[in-house]
A and B are shown apart, each in its own frame.
Chain A
Amino acid sequence: MRLLLIEDDDILGEGLRDFLRAEGHGVDWCRSLAEARAYTGEPFDALLVDWQLPDGSGLDWLRERRARGDNTSALMLTARDRLDDRITGLDAGADDYLVKPFAPEELVARLRAVNRRVGAGATSKLLFGPVEVDLAARRVRRDGQTVDLTGREWSILEALVLRAGRLVDKGDLERLVVGFDSELSSNALEVHVSALRRKLGREMIETQRGLGYRARLPD
């Protein structure tokens, strides 16, 4: 998943960024709302937002995004633990609310849960005909046989599966897969998608030539 992390505390921000990257996610880390606004228009799978930031409220920033029609999954990461704070956070458009201190493993599990709810269903295992994708275990089976995927292939598959049935622009897909500060050539993306279609079947990923890709809807 490509994640936008907004956290002003260096120790926590760096720790979360490194942990999430080690878990196979692309992470863009901002220390302020001003930095976060530079990412406006960028596609993300989830936003991890601290409430109290040096230049404003992360909650207000989230409200602005929701008001513009952005429905990217969002988790509030905050030290504010009162019940009314949690209610305010969820009402402002957060999909989940995590009170500091929390274990990064829990954050990862909640990210998966949020994306399951928003994306494809209540379970982490999704069936696409003969193909079974387990988002929690990061594992794919075809006709019951485990399919080996490279890290990049898994990232592409995950990005498409989380948006199953929707056309994903090639440029967005490139950024979702590698993050904002890395590059992946259009040619390389096509090579990875071809490999995925070969391993999982042509019906799994539909190509809209010149536009992008679409994963089929789960069963």
Chain B
Amino acid sequence: MFWGVALALAVWLAVDHEVDELLDDTLHDAAQVLGSLLIDEEVLRHARDLPGEPLRSSSRGSSILGDRFAWQLVDPQGHVLLRSPAAPEVALHQRAAAGLDGNGQWRSFGLVLSPSGRVLYVMQSRAERWEATSTAAFSSALAALVVGVLGHLWLRMRVQVELGPIRRLSDRLRQADPGGVAGVGDLGGGLGEAEREELEPVHCAVEDLARRLSRRLDHERAFTAHAAHALRTPLAGIDAQLAVALREVPPEQRPRLQRVRDATGRLQRVVAALLALFRSGVELSQRDIELEGFVARLPVAGLDITVAPDSHLWADGDLLAAALVNLLDNAVRHGARAVRLSAPTRSQLRLEDDGPGVTAARRQELQRALAEQRYEGHMGLGLMLADMVARAHGGALHLPDGPRGFAVELLLAPADRSELAADGTAATGSAAASSAVD
């Protein structure tokens, strides 16, 4: 609409200018024609019988210029010798003024008639000119507006038609799953032939990219499965051997062996977390999780865990377990004895411990590092894994301020990042000092 009005305005101004020029040319031409008549002394002798009187409408000059123009013939002393009915009785200019002039209510063209020195002014009123220019400009602007709107609609329709193949290609790409069970060839076949020649390179590039992506995913899956088998089985074996050894060794050796077994358990959790971490970038399998039952099955010892009643989450169970086990493990190692878990919404998991917590400055530093994913050197595996798990769900890890201890909030769905960042950096934490948070 804006462009339509702008176009109409531009047309208006252009037409106004052109019509103005045309009318000026007409004044000039009319002066030339009338001047050639009035230079005839015979005509002037007849006219002198009625000095200063307007010519009758049937007079020659009047009929030549019609009613839309007026004229007057002025002698060198400034007396009006002849004039048309609509012309003013006094001379338009006291001194001879040749050429175009736009003063007052008239637009005029002065023509000096030689050798008498008389001046013929052919003029047109401003109102008349305005009516002429505005009518022409309005009609043209209206026509331009109509043509513009129709042109816009037509152009839009054409663009829609022309963009159709690209839109259909986008739809097919959106539905394609290069990592799905169908595998590599499926995406290539699914795209089909290019609808337009220009899209052929895009098809080729996308299919090539999909093939490479699929190969990469297949490779990652194979590696994950292999790594899982290669790491999990020996760990289970070590644990089983230690369990047997604990029964067989003399009682005084049991505490040492139990510590080895505890360390093995921790190693198992770390390996499980690393495998989950690697997989978090590959795929996600979300389901409804009843938090209390879920937490009860986690291998965590030495912590009094309270779960808010009727807490449910919509998340990938394996990833969530990996994140939670490591967060709870952190809590134990940093002096917490009790942890409270709650899920205010199905995509929000809050964990608060009763440990010494961290300073506000340290918490803000951690939050900034999390926001920028600068894990190395800033935090340990626990927070890093929890953040990656949250990000795999489209969310992020948040470290809210709490009355005591250390609090972590996993957002398991996309959230307003700006709000998070503002809260995370502006909040002030408990003053309790703590060692580095892993």
Residue contact B244 to A79, C-beta cutoff 8 Å: no
Determine the distance from Cα of A10 to Cα of B234 in the docked complex, in whole angstroms.
9
Tell me which residues from 63 to 109 in chain A have a Cβ below 8 Å from any Cβ of chain B.
77, 79-84, 99-105
Determine the distance from Cα of A95 to Cα of B372 in the docked complex, in whole angstroms.
46
Chain B residues with Cβ below 8 Å from A10 are 237
Proximity string of chain B (371-399) to chain A, C-beta cutoff 8 Å, 1 when within and 0 when not:
00000000000000000000000000000
Chain B residues with Cβ below 8 Å from A103 are 239, 243, 265
Chain A proximity of B148: nearest CB distance (Å): 59
Residue contact A99 to B232, C-beta cutoff 8 Å: yes
Residue contact B228 to A11, C-beta cutoff 8 Å: no
Chain B residues with Cβ below 8 Å from A15 are 237-244
Residue contact B237 to A11, C-beta cutoff 8 Å: yes
Residue contact A9 to B243, C-beta cutoff 8 Å: no
Chain A proximity of B175: nearest CB distance (Å): 21
- Asked if B259 CB lies within 8 Å of chain A CBs, one says no
- B228 touches which of A9, A79, A105 (Cβ 8 Å): A79
Chain B proximity of A30: nearest CB distance (Å): 16
Residue contact B244 to A22, C-beta cutoff 8 Å: yes
Chain B residues with Cβ below 8 Å from A14 are 237, 240-241
Chain A proximity of B97: nearest CB distance (Å): 98
- B232 touches which of A16, A84, A100, A104 (Cβ 8 Å): A100
Determine the distance from Cα of A103 to Cα of B317 in the docked complex, in whole angstroms.
20
- Asked if B285 CB lies within 8 Å of chain A CBs, one says yes
Residue contact B243 to A83, C-beta cutoff 8 Å: no
Determine the distance from Cα of A103 to Cα of B265 in the docked complex, in whole angstroms.
9
Residue contact B240 to A16, C-beta cutoff 8 Å: yes
- Asked if A124 CB lies within 8 Å of chain B CBs, one says no
Tell me which residues from 326 to 340 in chain B have a Cβ below 8 Å from any Cβ of chain A.
none
Chain B residues with Cβ below 8 Å from A81 are 228, 232, 272, 275, 318
A interface residue count range (under 10 / 10 to 19 / 20 to 34 / 35 or more): 20 to 34
- Asked if A12 CB lies within 8 Å of chain B CBs, one says yes
Chain A residues with Cβ below 8 Å from B434 are none
A selection of 16 A-B contacts at a CB cut-off of 8 Å is A9-B234, A9-B236, A11-B237, A11-B241, A14-B237, A15-B239, A15-B241, A22-B244, A22-B247, A52-B229, A79-B228, A82-B285, A100-B233, A100-B236, A101-B239, A101-B268
Chain A residues with Cβ below 8 Å from B268 are 101
Chain B proximity of A88: nearest CB distance (Å): 13
- A11 touches which of B229, B238, B243, B271 (Cβ 8 Å): B238
New A-B pairs, 4, CB < 8 Å, besides A81-B272, A83-B317, A101-B239: A12-B237, A15-B238, A18-B244, A101-B232
- A80 touches which of B228, B244, B272 (Cβ 8 Å): B228
Determine the distance from Cα of A104 to Cα of B244 in the docked complex, in whole angstroms.
9
Determine the distance from Cα of A105 to Cα of B236 in the docked complex, in whole angstroms.
12
Determine the distance from Cα of A102 to Cα of B265 in the docked complex, in whole angstroms.
9
Proximity string of chain B (178-211) to chain A, C-beta cutoff 8 Å, 1 when within and 0 when not:
0000000000000000000000000000000000
- Asked if B10 CB lies within 8 Å of chain A CBs, one says no
Query: Please, which residue of chain A has its CB at the minimum distance from the CB of B224?
Result: A82
Tell me which residues from 397 to 421 in chain B have a Cβ below 8 Å from any Cβ of chain A.
none
Tell me which residues from 18 to 57 in chain A have a Cβ below 8 Å from any Cβ of chain B.
18-19, 22, 52
Residue contact B229 to A79, C-beta cutoff 8 Å: yes
Determine the distance from Cα of A164 to Cα of B404 in the docked complex, in whole angstroms.
57
- A83 touches which of B231, B236, B265, B285 (Cβ 8 Å): B285
Determine the distance from Cα of A18 to Cα of B225 in the docked complex, in whole angstroms.
28
Contacts A81-B318, A83-B285, A83-B318 given: A101-B244 contact, CB under 8 Å?
no
Q: In the complex, which of the residues B228, B239, B242, B268 has the most CB atoms of chain A within 10 Å of its own CB atom?
A: B239
Residue contact A104 to B233, C-beta cutoff 8 Å: no
Query: Please, which residue of chain A has its CB at the minimum distance from the CB of B228?
Result: A79
Chain A proximity of B279: nearest CB distance (Å): 8
Residue contact B285 to A11, C-beta cutoff 8 Å: no
Chain B proximity of A93: nearest CB distance (Å): 22
- Asked if B55 CB lies within 8 Å of chain A CBs, one says no
Residue contact B240 to A12, C-beta cutoff 8 Å: yes
Chain A residues with Cβ below 8 Å from B243 are 15, 19, 103-105
Residue contact B317 to A104, C-beta cutoff 8 Å: no
Q: Lowest 8 A-B CB distances belong to which pairs?
A: A15-B240, A11-B237, A12-B237, A101-B236, A79-B232, A101-B235, A100-B232, A15-B241
Chain B proximity of A7: nearest CB distance (Å): 9
Chain A proximity of B95: nearest CB distance (Å): 103
Chain A proximity of B390: nearest CB distance (Å): 19
Contacts A80-B228, A83-B285, A103-B239 given: A11-B244 contact, CB under 8 Å?
no
Contacts A52-B229, A80-B225 given: A100-B235 contact, CB under 8 Å?
yes
Query: Please, which residue of chain A has its CB at the minimum distance from the CB of B276?
Result: A81
Contacts A15-B243, A79-B228 given: A102-B236 contact, CB under 8 Å?
yes
Query: Please, which residue of chain B has its CB at the minimum distance from the CB of A107?
Result: B240
Chain A residues with Cβ below 8 Å from B239 are 15, 101-104
Chain A proximity of B249: nearest CB distance (Å): 13
Chain B residues with Cβ below 8 Å from A11 are 234, 237-238, 240-241
Query: Please, which residue of chain A has its CB at the minimum distance from the CB of B230?
Result: A79
Query: Please, which residue of chain A has its CB at the minimum distance from the CB of B234?
Result: A11
Chain B residues with Cβ below 8 Å from A13 are 237
Proximity string of chain B (99-122) to chain A, C-beta cutoff 8 Å, 1 when within and 0 when not:
000000000000000000000000
Chain B residues with Cβ below 8 Å from A18 are 240, 244
Determine the distance from Cα of A18 to Cα of B237 in the docked complex, in whole angstroms.
12
Proximity string of chain B (269-286) to chain A, C-beta cutoff 8 Å, 1 when within and 0 when not:
001100100000000010
Chain A residues with Cβ below 8 Å from B229 are 52, 79-80
Chain A residues with Cβ below 8 Å from B237 are 9-15
Query: Please, which residue of chain B has its CB at the minimum distance from the CB of A108?
Result: B243
Chain B residues with Cβ below 8 Å from A9 are 233-234, 236-237
Chain A proximity of B272: nearest CB distance (Å): 8
Chain B proximity of A39: nearest CB distance (Å): 22
